[in-house]
Amino acid sequence: MKIMNKLFAALLCLLACAACRDSKENYPSADQLAGVVINEVCGYQDETGDSWIELCNTSDRTIDLKGMKLFLTDDYYYRKCICTVPQKRVGPGEYLVLTAHGGDIDTGISAAASLELFMTSADGTEIDRFVRDADLSRPAAHAADGSFSRLPDGKGGWFATTTATQGSANFGYTNRTGFWLWSTHMKSVPLETLAAKGYGHVILHEQAFKSYPQAEVLARIAEAEALGMTVHIWLQCFYENSTWVSPVDDARKCYDQELFERIISRAEGYLDLGIKAIHFDYIRFGGTAHKHNFPEAGVTGEGAITEFCRQISTRLKAINPRVILSAALMAERDGAYYYGQNPAAMGAYLDILIPMVYRYSESGGGDKTGAWAKSTTDYFVTNAGKAEVWAGTQTYRYTSGNAAGLPQEQLRSDCEDFTQSEAAGVFLFRYGLGNFPDVTDLWN
């Protein structure tokens, strides 16, 4: 009997050891988990908000995340294990979102905390980490509707973005300050320096694609995106070869659909290249909109601009629902009459309206005050519909009829004036003129 008991005990021990070996063998090693990264972190804003962590498989193979652990360090915890992932298979380029409300992680993550997240394999080998104070490419608070995200998605540095993208590719504003860039400066512009100064948007003239090989332009755009910058391609709409092109066919008393299609096709081509934002310039008449009204046919100058906005928004957002569409507006309150620009109507289809709130006149005698800039900007904010309004400001003034770049102190002061308005951000026209100041504390 004793022999039988010993044999039975030995058998149980062998089975237990085999189970232990099988259990360990079933957990992926750190090498097998290579390519899985912490991709986005969203903290709660108050006690009612959810918080979540997004993982991304950046490899070219399906990975089983079984046994992978996440540890949290913040104001309350030190290396607290908040999640042990069950058997989850994540394909190449796919995401896994772990939420507090869903019970995937054991505790919420405070957006205000100086947090650290560590991801390990089942045996404790570190795979990836996010340390807020060390990893954010520039200091920034967690936006109300935003997150901490890698840009570019899955492989870039960390930024505080204004848009959370749970379960999909990271994309969003890292701040609301930018500048226009002529193609002639594309290769020389110091992107890293300007990103460090708080500029998160570049409006690059489409001439760049005509002046340089496409691969060079896309590589430069990729450099900007790796710094957390959003690159907008700058399209001139109704102004070609130094001549105004009317979006109304007066002879037939209808909108010029052929012209619309030509511009829309150009924009679609940029989205096909992976461009994430399009900026419309000269999206207006040259002061003659009221001369192209045919009420009996339901055609007006104002209607032409609005209809173009509707069509191009519909087509581009069908390709990329998150594409950012912006437009430059004349900063005049009667812009609908002269230019066909009705901000409320345009704002129904575009994301950002940019009134060009220019304060310095060519004569030098009609320079405007900061109070005027605020009042003008606030008019557009009130009348922009659902679109955000970012003020467009000059980086130069005129001396003896010639444009001279503003010194850093003056340009910084001009930008500060817009912080007193209801503007959501500011764009500077343009790089190559003026000494760009540090604006990290303004709209970031």
Which of these, 247, 226, 235, 134, lies nearest to 180 by C-alpha position?
235
User: Can you give the pLDDT at residue 261?
Assistant: 98
d(CA 403, CA 138): 33
User: Can you give the pLDDT at residue 138?
Assistant: 65
Of the candidate ranges 149-153, 175-179, 252-256, 412-416, the one whose mean pLDDT is the lowest:
149-153
Q: Please check the confidence at residue 170 and state whether its pLDDT lies above 50.
A: yes
pLDDT, tens digit (0-9, with 9 covering 90-100), for 423-436: 999 999 999 999 99
Mean pLDDT computed over 245-263 = 98
Q: How confident is the model at residue 9 (pLDDT cuts 50, 70, 90)?
A: very low
Q: Please check the confidence at residue 18 and state whether its pLDDT lies above 70.
A: no
pLDDT, tens digit (0-9, with 9 covering 90-100), for 320-348: 988 999 999 999 999 999 999 999 999 99
User: Can you give the pLDDT at residue 59?
Assistant: 96
Q: How confident is the model at residue 46 (pLDDT cuts 50, 70, 90)?
A: low
**Is residue 283 within 8 Å of 341, Cβ to Cβ?**
yes
pLDDT, tens digit (0-9, with 9 covering 90-100), for 79-108: 999 999 988 899 999 999 999 999 999 998
Of the candidate ranges 51-65, 140-154, 273-287, the one whose mean pLDDT is the lowest:
140-154
Mean pLDDT computed over 291-320 = 97
Q: Please check the confidence at residue 145 and state whether its pLDDT lies above 90.
A: no
pLDDT, tens digit (0-9, with 9 covering 90-100), for 117-127: 999 999 999 99
Separation of CA 308 from chain center: 24
Query: Could you tell me the strand order of the sheet in which 147-151 lies?
Result: 95-99, 52-57, 36-42, 147-151, 157-161
Q: Which amino acid is at 392?
A: G
pLDDT, tens digit (0-9, with 9 covering 90-100), for 67-82: 999 999 998 899 999 9
Three-class secondary structure assignment of the chain: CHHHHHHHHHHHHHHHHHHHHHHHHHCCCCCCCCCEEEEEEECECCCCCCCEEEEEECCCCCEECCCCEEEEECCCCCCEEEEECCCCEECCCCEEEEECCCCCCCCCCECCCCCEEEEECCCCCEEEEEEHHHHECCCCCCCCCCEEEEECCCCCEEEEECCCCCCCCCCCCCCCEEEEECHHHCCCCCHHHHHHCCCCEEEEECCHHHHCCHHHHHHHHHHHHHCCCEEEEEEECCEECCEECCCEECCCCEECHHHHHHHHHHHHHHHHCCCCEEEEECCCCCCCHHHHCEHHHCECHHHHHHHHHHHHHHHHHHHCCCCEEEEEEECCCCHHHHHCCCHHHHHCCCCEEEEECCCCCCCCCCCCCHHHHHHHHHHHHHCCCCCEEEEEEECEEEECCEEEECCHHHHHHHHHHHHCCCCCEEEEECCCCCCCCCCCCCCC
Mean pLDDT computed over 25-47 = 88
Which of these, 44, 46, 110, 40, lies nearest to 72 by C-alpha position?
110
d(CA 38, CA 174): 18
d(CA 203, CA 428): 10
45: Cβ contacts below 8 Å, ≥ 6 apart: 111, 142, 144
Of the candidate ranges 12-21, 275-284, 325-334, 399-408, the one whose mean pLDDT is the lowest:
12-21
d(CA 432, CA 186): 11
d(CA 398, CA 338): 26
pLDDT, tens digit (0-9, with 9 covering 90-100), for 345-386: 999 999 999 999 999 988 656 789 999 999 999 999 999 999
Q: How confident is the model at residue 157 (pLDDT cuts 50, 70, 90)?
A: confident
Q: Please check the confidence at residue 313 and state whether its pLDDT lies above 60.
A: yes
β partners of residue 18? none
User: Can you give the pLDDT at residue 247?
Assistant: 98
